Chains A and B, each alone.
Chain A
Amino acid sequence: DQQVKQNSPSLSVQEGRISILNCDYTNSMFDYFLWYKKYPAEGPTFLISISSIKDKNEDGRFTVFLNKSAKHLSLHIVPSQPGDSAVYFCAAYAGGTSYGKLTFGQGTILTVHP
């Protein structure tokens, strides 16, 4: 039973355009969400996060939106750059702790074309 789902295995975008990556979850106990970025042969690196008490968090070109009623979050990258090409993972914490396990989605491969 997969509690975090990223239904788009891949996304292709032109440089300068917006990239929108989506994530759905089923566990109502999730209260903190993170996006990680992963290049080949490297570990995931933290990108941006959002608490369940907020609906938006912005950091430079990256914005994460959370719709709690729909159990859906999205990552917007604008403008997209070729260096953004990577696998993006959505992840979630449950239960109000700040150091428990992360539950990940399957990842979405983003390709940004010059």
Chain B
Amino acid sequence: EAGVTQFPSHSVIEKGQTVTLRCDPISGHDNLYWYRRVMGKEIKFLLHFVKESKQDESGMPNNRFLAERTGGTYSTLKVQPAELEDSGVYFCASSQLAGGRNRYEQYFGPGTRLTVT
């Protein structure tokens, strides 16, 4: 079974530019989450999709961030325009709605390291 994949693995952009991150969850996982880790600090929640619907977007920093999950499969996170403080590692995670070895477990992708200069 393929794990959560994220693209790109690393992105370097200038302040004011736009970047789009992509996440492909594990097949069959209805829950999809975005998290961010900045400068070795805690991993912070951004938002949660259930299928194509936003269940919780309380962690989104501001309206420069836009997340979509068309068709309930892969998701994109767009940052426009990017600011210096947006630099960090963006993780995507997915989980099943019920069942599984551990129904509380979220499976994480390798992350996208975003550097805004």
Residues of A that sit less than 8 Å from B by CB: 2, 4, 32, 34, 36, 41-46, 49, 89, 91, 93, 98-107
Contact = CB atoms under 8 A, between A and B. Distances in A.
Contact of A49 (B45, B50, B98, B102): B102
B91 interface: yes
Contacts of A106: 40-42
Nearest to B33: A101
A51 to B, nearest CB: 9
Contacts of A89: 42-43
B91 A44 contact: yes
Nearest to B108: A43
Contacts of A43: 4, 91, 93, 108-111
22 contacts: A34-B105, A43-B110, A44-B91, A45-B108, A49-B104, A89-B42, A91-B43, A98-B103, A99-B31, A99-B95, A99-B104, A100-B48, A101-B33, A101-B48, A101-B58, A101-B59, A102-B33, A102-B35, A102-B45, A102-B106, A105-B42, A107-B42
Interface in B20-52: 31, 33, 35, 40-45, 48, 50
Contacts of A104: 35, 42-44
A34 B104 contact: yes
Interface of B: 4, 31, 33, 35, 40-45, 48, 50, 55-56, 58-59, 91, 93, 95-98, 102-111
A10 B43 CA distance: 17
Contacts of B111: 42-43
A80 to B, nearest CB: 23
Nearest to B43: A104
Contacts of B43: 44, 89, 91, 102, 104, 107
A41 B22 CA distance: 17
B112 to A, nearest CB: 10
A65 to B, nearest CB: 18
B45 A101 contact: yes
A42 to B, nearest CB: 5
B105 A41 contact: no
A8 to B, nearest CB: 14
